[in-house]
Structure 1
Amino acid sequence: MNEALEQISQIFLDLGASIALPILITLFGVALGQKFPKAFRAGVMIGIGFIGIGLIVGLLFGQVGPAAQGLAARFNVNLDIVDVGWPASAAIAFGSQVGAVAIPVLLLLNVLLLAAGLTKTLNIDLWNYWHFAFIGGLVAATTGNFLMGIAVACIAMLLTLALADWAAPKIQAHYDYPDISFPHGTSAAYALIAAPLNWVFDRIPGFNKLKADPDSIQKRFGIFGESMILGFGIGLLLGLAGYGLDEPRADIIAILGLGINLAAVMVLLPRMVAILMEGLIPISDAARAFVTKRLPGREFYIGLDSAIVIGQPAVIATSLILVPVTLLTAIALAPLGNRVLPLVDLATIPFIVALMVPIFRGNIVRSVVGGAIVIGAGLFIATALAPSITKVAENAGFQNETGGLISSLVDGANPMTGMFYLFGNMGWLGIAGLAVASLAFAVWVRIRGKARVADKAKVAA
């Protein structure tokens, strides 16, 4: 049984998002009542969208990586834990028994929570269930208890759904995506953290009056405020910081190349997201029809990958600025105990800030400051979890070519990962505490949502 589960997990991991997700979405669409050709087309289109996004994110890392390493080398700081990115996290997730049963178990849990009225989100982002499996797999491996891992994965799903419900109104209004929420394991927790940060920013004289959303920037700076030109400028600055001018001819070419490539990212990423959305919309409509028929009169959201918003100008601009800021933050925090060198997951910073940007009302300056704070704190989480992540990743079959400790920004530095790892390793008492707290938060979100609906009805009357 164990070997069969591990083989299923490994096949799923080997397929990757661009293959596994079309298969899952096609099956999901048929289960929702769609005809096979329509479900299959949607699945293939989603796969194409993920390939396109992957190519652009790969371009981003291919260009930013060498400049990032050059910047770190200039400061001569020894950061011995390498950020190998989300592939290590995915290896833990799908290389474990928890990962093998995660999708059916968590999907069933989501349906039960939706039927019970404890969430408004139907999470059709099946591939990214691996984030919950990662947390559960990490706890299962370190405690040696499979049931504990499953319990933690389920609680992580519950909390993430509640976070998605809580953040949905602001995110829907900002991105103009009605009836959509984002129960994405990478992004959801950061939206909650952004709320108190934004409260503080609103009370800092001068800072609270600074308008730095893309529209305001473009109005003020004209063509130099366009996202494409902004990406070019950020690329030049990052290139200058990373490469310097030690060899003028070669370095100038590299700097200009980085500038034009980051400008390309600003233009191409939104178009790849549009392709992804073309595939998601039919599945979203089918899911809405399915739930409406069985739960008439109930308001609900379709839960999607935050990939569909990373192409927004404020998100991309914030992410590009945060690349050098993240590196400088890691270097500055080294004397205080950080040992992680951000590297592979520099290209996934858009997913970290995607749901923070709406909370900051699209203000790029606030988003950069808030992003630097959460990433800086996350580096200490990633440092603390590195020994466990390294051990579990290698046991799951991840090829650790660094020869030392590894971690990641996406899940290794995520505050939810740190919290669940800490309480999960306290045994069943800690897990029960997590369950009670997560359930209480979900109930509070639902009560708060009903009160908001009632207030709107009074105003309309």
Structure 2
Amino acid sequence: MAEILAALKSVVDALGATVLLPIIIFVIALVLGARPGRAFRAGLTIGIAFIGINLVLGLMLTTLGEVAQAIVTNTGMQRDIVDVGWPSAAAIAFGSSVGLWVIPLGILVNVALLFSGLTRTLNVDVWNFWHFAFVGSLVVAATGSLGMGLLAAALMAALSLVLADWTAKGVQRFYGVPGVSVPHLASAQIVPLAILLNWILDRIPGVNRIRVDTETVQRRLGVFGEPIVMGLAIGLVLGLVAYAGSADAGTVVTKSLQTGMNLAAVMLLLPRMVRILMEGLIPVSEAARDFVQKRAGDREIHVGLDSAILIGHPAAIASSLILVPIAILLSLVLPGNRIILFADLAVIPFVVAMAAPIVNGNVFRMVVIGTVTLVVGFYVGMALSPLMTTTAASSGFAIPANATGITSVVDGFLYIPWVVIRLTQGLGLVGLLLVLGGVAALLLAWRRAPRAMERLAGADEPAPEAALPATVAPGRPLAGRP
């Protein structure tokens, strides 16, 4: 059995997400009843779209990484816990004893909950099962029990599906991605915190009237409020902050202009890539709807995708770019902080994107929510660092020189893994049963009062017209497309 699982893991690692996803989409579309030619084209289109998304994300991550490194160098920060980035966290998770089992385990949980009618999301984002393995591997490090780690990973797989169902309508409404949900644990974990903070902000006089969204800015400023110009302006400011004082004036100007142009390109190209993705996803959504209607009446099925499809929205990018220097400032001023941020600063868009539907794209509120999330994350990161460092060492990961520990914003800063691990560490199996009870309670609340839960997650606001993909006209059904 171990050999089979190792072979499956090696195939997933070798193919990568951009090859594996089209194959999965093709097979699923065929199972759902789509014509072979249409299923093949859908899978191919979605794979191409993700390649495009990854290329644009690579540009953004490289640009922000250079900015972050320059700011850190200028401040002279020295800390003993190093942010090694999500690629390292994913490698550690997949390289652990839980990582060997997590793909079949995640698929089993998804199939069981979907066909029992408890959840509605078909999670095709197999690569991101590493988030479940990450939690499970830290539980193993805390308890020494592989069984406990596998149970924790299964619970995280279930929780991601419940959160995806809960937020699906809000995500579809705000981002204009019909038929999609986001079972990405690193992104969905902000939802409860965002709902609470949004409720508090609504009750603070003066603050509750502050409204900064990209559509309003564009209307008031005309061409200067367009997303590409906003990207240019924010990039210029970030470049000046990062490089001023560390180079001659000519280099500062050059670097700032390059940063501005790169971020302007990201603001334009990411939404275009998402539109291509939606073009490929439409046949799968239609086939899923028809398949379910024949067997279960009007029950909806959502296709679960990576939150990368969300971060092209101007509100997500703008708030994230503002949060980069805030995150570095927090690392300087937070009492007792031992973490130096570096590799994962550029993934802040993934952390805050799911807050956008809840605040209807209010960038001011997204920045406030993101700041609080980061503050919590620093202390969670310090608490989880010893376990993450132990797991990394057992997975063969080399700890950076001059560092006593490692962390990452994704997933080392997330409060949900911290809660699960602390409960398990303190109470053993009872702690995991409490986690199971929490997941069941959230699922029960969702099933008993779906409309109330959807309102909390931002499903009832008017849809921003700019968010709708070019392939779907406002107010038009998906049916009838060739």
TM-score with structure 1 setting the length: 0.91
- What residue in structure 2 maps to residue 321 of structure 1? 322
> C-alpha root-mean-square deviation of aligned residues, in Å?
2.3
3-12 or 214-223: which moved more?
3-12
- What residue in structure 2 maps to residue 250 of structure 1? 251
Shift of 1:3: 5.2
- The question of whether the paired residues in 2 share the 8 Å contact of 1:13 and 1:94 is answered with no
- What residue in structure 2 maps to residue 140 of structure 1? 140
Shift of 1:258: 0.9
- What residue in structure 1 maps to residue 457 of structure 2? none
- What residue in structure 2 maps to residue 352 of structure 1? 351
1:377 counterpart = 2:376: yes
- What residue in structure 1 maps to residue 125 of structure 2? 125
428-437 or 382-391: which moved more?
382-391
- One-letter amino acid of the counterpart of residue 413, structure 1: F
What secondary structure, in the 3-state scheme, does the structure 2 residue paired with 1:98 have?
coil
- What residue in structure 2 maps to residue 337 of structure 1? 336
- The question of whether the paired residues in 1 share the 8 Å contact of 2:228 and 2:267 is answered with yes
- The question of whether the paired residues in 2 share the 8 Å contact of 1:72 and 1:331 is answered with no
- Residues of 1 paired with 2:357 and 2:327: CA distance? 21
- The question of whether the paired residues in 1 share the 8 Å contact of 2:175 and 2:310 is answered with yes
- What residue in structure 2 maps to residue 13 of structure 1? 13
1:415 counterpart = 2:429: no
Q: Label 1:14 to 1:53 Cα distance change in 2 as closer, same or farther (>3 A).
A: same
1:187 counterpart = 2:187: yes
Shift of 1:45: 2.5
Segments ≥4 residues shifted beyond 4 Å:
399-403, 450-453
- Residues of 1 paired with 2:401 and 2:49: CA distance? 31
- The question of whether the paired residues in 2 share the 8 Å contact of 1:9 and 1:97 is answered with no
- One-letter amino acid of the counterpart of residue 111, structure 2: V
- Residues of 1 paired with 2:212 and 2:222: CA distance? 14
- What residue in structure 1 maps to residue 105 of structure 2? 105
- One-letter amino acid of the counterpart of residue 206, structure 2: G
Q: How many residues align?
A: 451
- What residue in structure 1 maps to residue 387 of structure 2? 388
32-41 or 107-116: which moved more?
32-41
Q: State how 1:16-165 maps to structure 2 within 5 Å.
A: 16-165=16-165
355-364 or 37-46: which moved more?
37-46
Shift of 1:339: 2.1
- Residues of 2 paired with 1:451 and 1:253: CA distance? 51
Shift of 1:18: 1.8
- What residue in structure 2 maps to residue 276 of structure 1? 277
- What residue in structure 1 maps to residue 220 of structure 2? 220
- One-letter amino acid of the counterpart of residue 429, structure 1: V
Q: Label 1:153 to 1:27 Cα distance change in 2 as closer, same or farther (>3 A).
A: same
What secondary structure, in the 3-state scheme, does the structure 1 residue paired with 2:98 have?
helix
Q: Label 1:37 to 1:142 Cα distance change in 2 as closer, same or farther (>3 A).
A: farther
- What residue in structure 2 maps to residue 434 of structure 1? 435
- Residues of 2 paired with 1:403 and 1:58: CA distance? 28
- One-letter amino acid of the counterpart of residue 176, structure 2: D
Identity value in percent:
46
5+ residue gaps, structure 2: 455-482
- Residues of 1 paired with 2:14 and 2:402: CA distance? 23
Q: Label 1:282 to 1:98 Cα distance change in 2 as closer, same or farther (>3 A).
A: farther
Shift of 1:256: 1.3
5+ residue gaps, structure 1: 454-461
308-317 or 293-302: which moved more?
293-302
1:306-326 residue CA offsets vs partner (Å, 9 max, x unmatched): 222211111111111111121
Shift of 1:378: 0.8
- One-letter amino acid of the counterpart of residue 329, structure 2: L
Shift of 1:355: 0.7
- The question of whether the paired residues in 1 share the 8 Å contact of 2:80 and 2:402 is answered with no
224-233 or 5-14: which moved more?
5-14
Q: Label 1:337 to 1:26 Cα distance change in 2 as closer, same or farther (>3 A).
A: farther
- What residue in structure 1 maps to residue 365 of structure 2? 366
- Residues of 1 paired with 2:177 and 2:274: CA distance? 14
- The question of whether the paired residues in 1 share the 8 Å contact of 2:90 and 2:130 is answered with yes
- One-letter amino acid of the counterpart of residue 372, structure 1: T
1:58-106 residue CA offsets vs partner (Å, 9 max, x unmatched): 2112222222122122222212322222112211332234333323332
Shift of 1:151: 1.1
Shift of 1:251: 1.5
Q: Label 1:177 to 1:276 Cα distance change in 2 as closer, same or farther (>3 A).
A: closer
68-77 or 314-323: which moved more?
68-77
374-383 or 41-50: which moved more?
41-50
Q: Label 1:266 to 1:116 Cα distance change in 2 as closer, same or farther (>3 A).
A: same
- The question of whether the paired residues in 1 share the 8 Å contact of 2:139 and 2:424 is answered with yes
- The question of whether the paired residues in 2 share the 8 Å contact of 1:179 and 1:300 is answered with yes
- Residues of 2 paired with 1:237 and 1:133: CA distance? 38
1:170 counterpart = 2:161: no
- What residue in structure 1 maps to residue 312 of structure 2? 311
- Residues of 2 paired with 1:341 and 1:277: CA distance? 38
Q: Label 1:283 to 1:142 Cα distance change in 2 as closer, same or farther (>3 A).
A: farther
- Residues of 2 paired with 1:179 and 1:22: CA distance? 17
- Residues of 1 paired with 2:401 and 2:23: CA distance? 33
Shift of 1:152: 0.9
TM-score with structure 2 setting the length: 0.87
409-418 or 4-13: which moved more?
4-13
- What residue in structure 1 maps to residue 292 of structure 2? 291
- One-letter amino acid of the counterpart of residue 329, structure 1: L
- Residues of 2 paired with 1:109 and 1:165: CA distance? 15
- The question of whether the paired residues in 1 share the 8 Å contact of 2:12 and 2:127 is answered with no
- One-letter amino acid of the counterpart of residue 240, structure 2: L
Q: Label 1:145 to 1:37 Cα distance change in 2 as closer, same or farther (>3 A).
A: farther
- One-letter amino acid of the counterpart of residue 363, structure 2: I
1:360-398 residue CA offsets vs partner (Å, 9 max, x unmatched): 111011111111110121121122212222232343344
